[in-house]
Structure 1
Amino acid sequence: MGKTGLSKLLFALMLVFLLVLAACNSETGSEETDDSGSDPGTEEEGAEGGSDDDLYSIEDFSPEKVTDGEVMDGGTLNYGVVSDTVFAGTLSYNFYEDALDVEVIDWFDESLLTVDESYNYTNDGAATFEMSDDGTVFTFTIRDEVNWHDGEPVTAEDWAYSFEVIGHPDYTGIRYDASFMNIEGMEAYHDGEEDSISGIEIIDEKTLEITFLEAGPSLLAGGIWSYATPKHVFEDVPVAEMAESPEVRENPIGMGPFKVESIVPGESVTYTANEDYWRGEPNLDGVTLQIVSPETVVQSLETGEVDMVDSFPADQYPDVEESLTNVEFLGRVGRAYTYIGFKLGEWDADAGEVVPDDSMKMSDVNLREAMWYAVDNNSVGEQFYNGLRWNANTLIPPYHAEYHDETIEAPTYDPEQANQILDEAGYEDVNDDGFRETPDGEELVINFASMSGGDTAEPIANYYIQAWEQVGLKVELLDGRLIEMNSFYDRVEADDPDIDIYQGAWQVGSDVDPAGLYGSNAAFNYSRYASEENNELLVEGASPEAMDLEYRKEVYSEWQELMVEEIPVFPTVYRAELVPVNNRVENWSIEESANVYRNELGVTAEEPEVAQ
């Protein structure tokens, strides 16, 4: 464990000690303390928080590094993906399930559509579009110069084939959701009643028409699947076998600026320039992507082993702010948020929907609310991340600035309130062992699943466990340890009955619509929560009426309020995204709408700079 990890662990232990001391000095067993939580973006000091001088603001960082001069012709770049685990190797937009795989895919394949600063589709991408007056019919035209890496043209049939694969009855992935069901004839095709999708028509080689059942704002903001699949490569592969096929795992092709040259499974990928790329030949000759451990990422940057990484661990930034002289840190409000999820049911794969179960251990909303009040997420953000993560109040993060409602009052750190809620709900310590039993007098042990990661993963998980203990809840780490990321999500997705609660993270898409994560027919709805009001609001948020921005904002504000009341999950911290870029690298942006493309990425010297 490095210096950073040791200091964070010591803080966690100190915080636990102080909580225990406060509890011992209280006759009632509850802690008398001020509510130290705060709305996102404020710098209010936490219970054990540091001074304002120790905190950083995302406003101090630029999201892009664009040259005013010339980059060299050629050269190679080393790109690191920070992770303590390997990438799974499902290298297809149709089938990937984790963020590591999509980092690999994004270098060799891409969306046919681009977005503007509001994350709405534009006509600047590989395809252009026209929309009917009623907003239900879209006509797409793929540019003539857009080709696959093997030289075959990207066609309307390839795009239609993606819908046929994802909607197929034998599809094994998790993309099929309400956005696909909104296509005319899709459900009949998915149910095996029809051999084709009536709402998808190939007009000619480069023109595709899609008819939707209902218009809505989500169609323009990520609600249309914009990734083609090379049918000439996959048409002889059964859909049920595609995710494990060599065409996905060993020899993937795309239409992006770089081609896959070789893969070391789970560890690295070497790419070469796609000279036929439709936007123009890349400046670089090639790119090497490699997995970099959070424990060694600083050294890899210092020595120039990698020129840049996908995302830098925010907890390590204070230690390297001055020493990493060979890089420039880019930053923005991140797309991701961390959360605590409660298992409230199961997933019915055959029906494609959530099945809530009121008999689940965490089904009492009072218990869930008390657990939210018991944790000090503001101090977690300040002490472990120096302000580069901060207390979260709703499930729509500030990345979606137009829709995030910072005025919603969510539970913030108040252990006295947590104790009161538990007392009134009947959770009492009936055998004087220091832990509460259920209202029926049964032993209550809550199994907590949390992922392994950087230096802060274990002390943060331990902090939460100890914070819940201070309000009399016995929470134990599942299997007594943190779980490797791929195994973690396998078990959460499979509704492992040993998991009661879990700590996860979501990276949201360009469309604000949360139905893909919390809808009753969303496989990503890992808490397995469903309610009539939730469904109604999610439908309204994507309805034709929601084409009116103010109406849609009102609907999603109501939805954020509902999630604070129902608490199927609760957000813990929002994230700043930091990306260090070697000084020799130019033309890179971490904003999707910046119109800085990977073929423009270049270097100004043959070798990366090293830290002085």
Structure 2
Amino acid sequence: MKKFSFHKLTLAFMLVLLLALAACGGGDDEGNNNSDSSSNKGSEEGELYSIEDFTNVKTNEGEPIDGGSFTYGLVSDTAFEGTLNWNFYSGAPDAEIIQWFDEPLLTWDESYVYTNDGAATYELEGNTVTFTIRDNVNWHDGEPVTAEDFAFAHEVIGHPEYDGIRYGSDFTNIVGMEEYHAGEADTIEGIEIVDEKTLKITYKEVTPSLLTGSIWTYPLAKHIFEDIPVAEMSSSDAVRKNPIGFGPYIVEEIVPGESVTFTKNEDYWRGEPNLDKVTVKVISSTTVVNELESGGVDTVSSFPTDQYPDNADMSNVEFLGDTDRAFTYIGFKLGKWDAEEGRVVPDPNAKMADKKLRQAMWHAVDNDTLGQKFYHGLRWNATTLIPPSHPEYHDETNPGRSFDQEKAKQLLDEAGYVDVNDDGMREDPDGNELVINFASMSGGDTAEPIAQYYIQSWEQVGLNVQLTDGRLMEFNTFYDRVENDDPGIDVYQGAWGVGIDVDPRSLWGGESVSNYTRWTSEENDSLLAKGVSDEAFNLEYRQDIYNQWQELMVEEVPVFPTVYRAVLVPVNNRVVNFAIGDGTGIYLHELGVTQEEPMTAE
């Protein structure tokens, strides 16, 4: 299992946790363990705060009692989807739930490199990685987690009828996977089951990314899923109603979209958890403060940073903070996804195809002021698509595109976007009315004013930008429409959680279904390939390649980052052994409480 973390996944993940987010999702970053937690009030000047004012490890005040319960508030203004399996989920809210009862076979350290401290160990020899699952790692029904389960996960994700988002370059790098996916082979040549607990996987290429995130480390219980057609797995009871894992807690009850109750897994391979019971429940961003003050939740997935100044002195919690491995961005729809070819297909005639139009829209917005006004400095101007959570590769010398509305107007003039009928709005280069449809998500008190801020900023340079359908979209609707290249969306505001591996291919590569802009180029694909080449084992070479790529994206602007993000997590004072971020050495089964009832605010 990964070291204890409550950052949004992403998606990656997030929402791909790999996404983490998927769009949503979701990061787990190193924090500043030397920070003084007493400095949570931040700086006084201008009501601004800094992530440097926080620690990411909670102060322990007392010893954990034997047993007890813990309530985790999943902050979301919509119900969670309920795809509760790592191999099928796509949204960060589901990942927040899955982490309690299932985990990867490998852990990673503070530098995001896989270790041998997890449920399995690994050894790399040539292009082959040998995985050995520990003998005491068992599914919640008592069946051992086997090499066959691990192989089965790869077979399902690689299957032509798999309907999830995992299949991509990490899988096509396995010898024989593409032939299996195409139906040309019944097995995957590069996957060998050596014995019950040992699996070998041979990769076409061993890249710097292989050991920092591009190995799929989540097995799938074959004894449960083998009789379910692959196309039906993600909607099956085994995923939706009776999910299983080998993590520290066992799913006891699911109230669809609302809550999940867990009991301890006494047979957990790391040791019996301290807590008897954990409840994850969805709470609205508007009720977070009340839930925390009343002890209705012990902590939350994240705290709305816009609400922090009014609650910094909440007496019954300690605020933890970390630089989020995520960023918010504005994306431009520039093509379509070709499912048969497995590639994005840019459309040179797309409404947003002129890069000067896109450059102008970046110059038109003041993200520094936005971060200060709406987030009190706890979100700040973003410059490149590799965030500062990866300091070795984030190019801090690249300024991105500065706020300069005169420059924006100049670029629009040069591209032929001029006001031909004196109504204050620019027409397109052919003299036709230009209406740019902008999709943004609902959620929280700031969603609407931020969307309107962007619309007004673009109006100030003469662009008529309107919300798609005239309103903000609910989370699931938003991503359904963005993923399906809805023609009613020209521009959208999204968020990505960045994986532990810096490799940007899964978000912006030409073969990534998660590249929602549907833009790529020969130079983009070439630089991303060089970033995972043999030469990229040299750190300086890889840094240079990713600096070039960051500059390319600043020039082409298929997407531009708006703000980097702090994540704030308030934790009830009765809680011990709690941290956010990786490299802390604290695991979920160690989580405990010092008294039966949560402390309430004075």
| 1:125 corresponds to | 118
Displacement of 1:66 in angstroms is 5.2
Give runs of aligned pairs for residues 256-405 of structure 1, distance below 5 A: 256-322=247-313, 324-405=314-395
Kept after mapping to 1: 8 A contact 2:86/2:98: yes
Q: Considering only aligned residues, what root-mean-square deviation do their CA atoms show, in Å?
A: 1.0
Task: Give the equivalent residue in structure 2 for 1:240.
Answer: 231
In structure 1, what is the equivalent of residue 13 of structure 2? none
Aligned to 1:446: 436
More helix by share: 1
Q: 2:566 aligns with which of 565, 569, 576?
A: 576
Given that residues 447 and 499 in structure 1 are in contact (C-alpha distance below 8 angstroms), is that contact kept between their aligned partners in structure 2?
A: yes
Give, in angstroms, the shift of residue 53 of structure 1: 3.7
CA shift at 1:547, angstroms? 1.4
Which residue in 1 is equivalent to 2:35? none
Query: Residues of 1 paired with 2:567 and 2:348: CA distance?
Result: 38
Q: Tell me whether 1:101 sits opposite 2:91 in the alignment.
A: no
Q: CA deviation at 1:292?
A: 0.7
Instruction: Decide whether the 8 Å contact of 2:337 with 2:518 is kept in 1.
Output: yes
Q: Match of 1:472?
A: 462
Amino acid at match of 1:308: T
Give identity over the alignment, percent: 66
Task: Give the secondary-structure state (helix, strand or coil) at the position aligned to 2:321.
Answer: strand
CA contact (8 A) 2:106 2:121 kept: yes
Aligned mates of 1:567, 1:402 — CA distance in 2: 23
Q: 2:557 aligns with which of 543, 553, 567?
A: 567
Q: What displacement does 1:554 show?
A: 1.1
The reply on whether 1:113 has 2:103 as its aligned counterpart is no
* The 10-residue stretch of structure 1 (159-168 or 400-409) with the greater mean CA deviation from structure 2: 400-409
Secondary structure, aligned partner of 2:583: helix
User: 1-side partners of 2:326 and 2:568: how far apart?
Assistant: 12
Which residue number corresponds to residue 498 of structure 2?
A: 508
State the SS of the aligned residue for 1:340: strand
How far is the alpha carbon of 1:352 from its aligned partner?
1.2
Letter in 1 for 2:146: T
Task: Measure, in 2, the Cα distance between the counterparts of 1:388 and 1:303.
Answer: 25
Partner of 1:5: none
2 CA distance for matches of 1:52 and 1:531? 45
Alignment check: 8 A CA contact 2:248 2:273 kept = yes
1:605 maps onto 2:591 in alignment: no
Distance 2:356 2:44 in 1: 34
Q: How many Å separate the matches in 2 of 1:51 and 1:346? A: 48
CA deviation vs aligned residue, 1:426-471 (integer Å, no higher than 9, x gap): 1110011110001111110000000001110000000100000000
Tell me by how many angstroms 1:592 deviates.
Answer: 2.1
Please give the secondary structure, in 2, of the residue aligned with 1:387: coil
| Structure 2 CA distance for partners of 1:499 and 1:292, relative to 1, 3 Å | same
- Asked whether the 8 Å contact 1:335–1:399 carries over to 2, the reply is yes
Matched AA of 1:340: I
Deviation, 1:350, is: 1.8
Kept in 2, the 8 Å contact 1:315–1:385? The answer is yes
Report the secondary structure of 1:305's partner residue.
coil
Q: Classify the secondary structure of the residue corresponding to 1:517.
A: helix
Give deviations 1:286-307, integer Å, cap 9, x for gaps. 1000011000000000000000
Amino acid at match of 1:480: G
Matched, 1:143 2:134: yes
CA contact 1:82–1:294 (8 Å) conserved in 2: yes
Post-superposition shift, 1:409?
A: 2.4
- The code of the aligned residue for 2:504 comes to P
- State the Cα distance separating 1:589 from its structure 2 match: 1.1
* 2:203 paired with 1:212: yes
Matched, 1:171 2:159: no
1:428 alignment partner, SS class: coil
- Partners of 1:206 and 1:178 lie apart in 2 by 26
Number of the residue aligned with 1:8: none
Q: Secondary structure at the match of 2:370?
A: helix
Q: How far apart, CA to CA, are the structure 1 residues paired with 2:172 and 2:263?
A: 38
- CA deviation map 1:189-211 (0-9, x unaligned): 00000000000000000001000
Looking at structure 2, the residues matched to 110 and 419 of structure 1 have their Cα atoms a distance apart, in angstroms, of: 50
Q: Which letter maps to 2:508?
A: Y
Cα distance in 1 between the residues matched to 2:588 and 2:68: 14
Q: Secondary structure at the match of 2:496?
A: strand
Instruction: Look up the SS of the partner of 2:328 in the other structure.
Output: strand
8 Å Cα contact 2:63/2:576 also seen in 1 = no
Native 8 Å contact 1:251 1:260 kept in 2: yes
Q: Does 1:57 align with 2:47?
A: no
Conserved in 2, the CA contact under 8 Å of 1:216 and 1:545?
no
| Contact 1:330–1:580 (Cα < 8 Å) also in 2 | yes
Distance in 2 (CA, whole Å) between partners of 1:348 and 1:81 is 35
Shift of 1:86: 0.6
Segments of structure 1 that go 5 or more residues without pairing to the other structure are 1-49
Match of 2:520 among 503, 511, 530: 530
In the alignment, is the contact (CA less than 8 A) between 2:70 and 2:278 conserved in 1?
yes
Is the CA contact 2:61–2:576 (under 8 Å) kept in the aligned structure 1?
A: no
| Deviation string, structure 1 residues 513-544 (Cα, Å, up to 9, x no partner) | 11000111111000001111111111111112
The unaligned stretches of length 5 or more in structure 2 are 1-42
Q: TM-score, normalised by structure 2?
A: 0.92
AA matched with 1:292: I
Kept in 2, the 8 Å contact 1:58–1:388? The answer is: yes
| 2:82 is the alignment partner of 1:89 | yes
1:72 and 1:584 map into 2 onto residues whose CA distance is 10
C-alpha separation between the residues in 2 aligned to 1:295 and 1:526? 30
1:532 partner letter: E
Once the two structures are superposed, residues 188-242 of structure 1 have per-residue CA deviations (whole angstroms, 9 ceiling, x without a partner) of 0000000000000000000010000011111000110000100000000000001
Cα distance in structure 1, aligned partners of 2:578 and 2:104? 18
2:210 counterpart SS class: helix
The structural deviation recorded for 1:51 is 8.2
Offset, 1:52: 3.5
In structure 2, distance between residues paired with 1:600 and 1:326: 21
Which residue in 2 is equivalent to 1:35?
none
Counterpart for residue 194 of structure 1 = 185
Once the two structures are superposed, residues 296-354 of structure 1 have per-residue CA deviations (whole angstroms, 9 ceiling, x without a partner) of: 000000000000001111110001012x1100011110011000000000011122110
Q: Which is higher, the Rg of structure 1 or of structure 2?
A: 1
CA displacement at 1:595 relative to structure 2: 1.8
Matched, 1:67 2:57: no
- Residue aligning to 2:146: 155
Q: 1:69, CA displacement in angstroms?
A: 4.7
Query: For the residues of structure 2 that align with 1:335 and 1:579, how far apart are their CA atoms?
Result: 15
Partners of 2:540 and 2:106 in 1: CA distance: 26
Distance in 2 (alpha carbons) for counterparts of 1:417 and 1:468: 13
Task: Tell me which residue corresponds to 1:557.
Answer: 547
Aligned residues: 560
In 1, distance between residues paired with 2:430 and 2:332?
20
Judge conservation of contact 2:61–2:574 (CA < 8 Å) in 1.
no
Residue 419 of structure 1 aligns with an amino acid whose one-letter code is: K
Q: Distance in 2 between matches of 1:552 and 1:223?
A: 16
Aligned residue in 2 for 1:422: 412
